[in-house]
Amino acid sequence: MATTTLIRNAAWIVAWDAAAGHHAYLRDADLAFSGNTITFVGKGYAGAADETIDGRAVMLIPGLVDIHSHPSTEPFFRGIREEHGVPAMFMSGLYERSFAFRTDAEGRRAGKTVAYCEMLRTGITSIADLSGPDPGWIDLAADSGLRVFLAPGYASARWHLENEWQLKYLWDEDAGKRGFRDALALIEQAGRHPSGRLSGVIFPAQIDTCTEALLRESWEAAEARNLPFTTHCAQSVNEFNEMVARHGRTPIRWARDIGILGPRAILGHAIFTDEHSWTRWHTHDDVRILAETGTSVAHCPSPFARYGHTLEDFGRYRRAGVNMGLGTDVSPHNLIEEMRLAAILARVAARDIKTTSTGELFHAATVGGAQALGRDDIGRLAVGARADLVLVDLTNPFMLPARDPLRSLVYTAADRAVHSVFVDGCKVVDAGRVLTLDHAEALGLLAEAQARMMDQVPSHDWARRRAEDIVPLSLPALV
């Protein structure tokens, strides 16, 4: 018999109102789960329970769904990426960084462990992990306790730089095909894992680095296996201009024309549309195309905001009918803080406080992400859903006064108030401590690996610069 856990008298439950299609507050109520499934949400639970948790100082929220992350590489960029950008590439540092800063396999494992720990501690329970196919990935994902949608990336070309302003491509179509085959094998292996928490996403890495044939074959594979499909699209002005130069069409329109948009498609990040103020193309169709095809957007505000970029704007996409999900494209892997930033940037971009709301952002961080991944059993607290849930500590000073605890969480406390986390009915975080992985050990290994990466920068960088020359420290050293 499955063990039943009861959270009795939760002060607040963010419960799923299926009839209305949105989350709603439920006060002073109970939630029970048996094994990995929620069996009761409401008042006056009368059944038996093997374990009872006092919920009087708790807000229960569904585990967050992160639909775009790069755990194997992004933790390396702490202290580097926050202020790195190339003005001659419309401020994006993506190409210079991925060219010059390269990590080794041992380091990527440490990075992944650190990222998984950050995700768990901040209340994320499901992730799309967009990474290279490193050995040991499946076991590490399973050990983390997270629900992981493994998205092994592959491409027909690599970005190449010979100066500061020009993005070039080194094509190797066979490498793309091999990567695609390997990705399919890895996804199949993940799907068979006995934990039942692993599955896959088809991930041709970028719209500009994959041939049309590879993108089409990838889409067919996703359809045949009923898997989500994701790629980076409309993520930079350079990419937008490159696709216009190749096809005379915006990246989003071209994606639609070659048949890779639809309800199983997730675009990271769909920022640089035909109407974006940094592209100013002559059409006005891209957002409508996303809505009409049922394509989801993985919105990750942090990395872009640091360059000075923003989606224009979250509320407009929503009103157009686009399914919006959120991701943690970079470190920190903190979806609560991404909700806050997304709300603020939407209002700045729209010059309108009413363009979006905390409720809409929370929807994106839960149900919107679940929909993008083709799941109706995660991202919600409802009978029959998976027991992926977060206990938020209402006594944390940053939550008080908890007049509207979701606002306290999003605008003030964030992960500081995340007390415990369950995934698939198993406790993975207790009192803010990750129970499944060794966070401290991984941080030590990550620091060593970051130092190795920094040492190697001159041998990769197009101008043979040192890491310190590309990204100086934020203050000068006193001598």
- Which residues would be at the binding site for Zn ion (CB under 5 A)? 268, 329
Q: CA 423, CA 141: separation in Å to the nearest integer?
A: 13
Q: 């049309």: which residue's tokens?
A: 212
Structural contact between residues 32 and 4, judged by C-beta atoms closer than 8 angstroms: yes
CB of 205 to Zn ion, least distance (A): 9
Measured from the CB atom, is 268 or 301 closer to Zn ion?
Answer: 268
Per the structure block, which two tokens stand in for 323?
């399914």
Among 220, 218, 238, 240, which Cα is nearest to 230's?
Answer: 218
Cα dihedral 436, 58, 369, 241 in deg (nearest 10): -90
Measured from the CB atom, is 75 or 268 closer to Zn ion?
Answer: 268
Q: 3-state DSSP call for residue 226? A: coil
Measured from the CB atom, is 176 or 268 closer to Zn ion?
Answer: 268
CB of 357 to Zn ion, least distance (A): 26
Q: CA 2, CA 45: separation in Å to the nearest integer?
A: 17
Q: What share of the chain is helix, strand, coil (3-state, %, to 5)?
A: 40, 25, 35
Q: CA 44, CA 10: separation in Å to the nearest integer?
A: 11
CB of 303 to Zn ion, least distance (A): 8
Measured from the CB atom, is 123 or 268 closer to Zn ion?
Answer: 268
Measured from the CB atom, is 94 or 391 closer to Zn ion?
Answer: 94
Measured from the CB atom, is 227 or 300 closer to Zn ion?
Answer: 300
Measured from the CB atom, is 68 or 109 closer to Zn ion?
Answer: 68
CB of 298 to Zn ion, least distance (A): 8
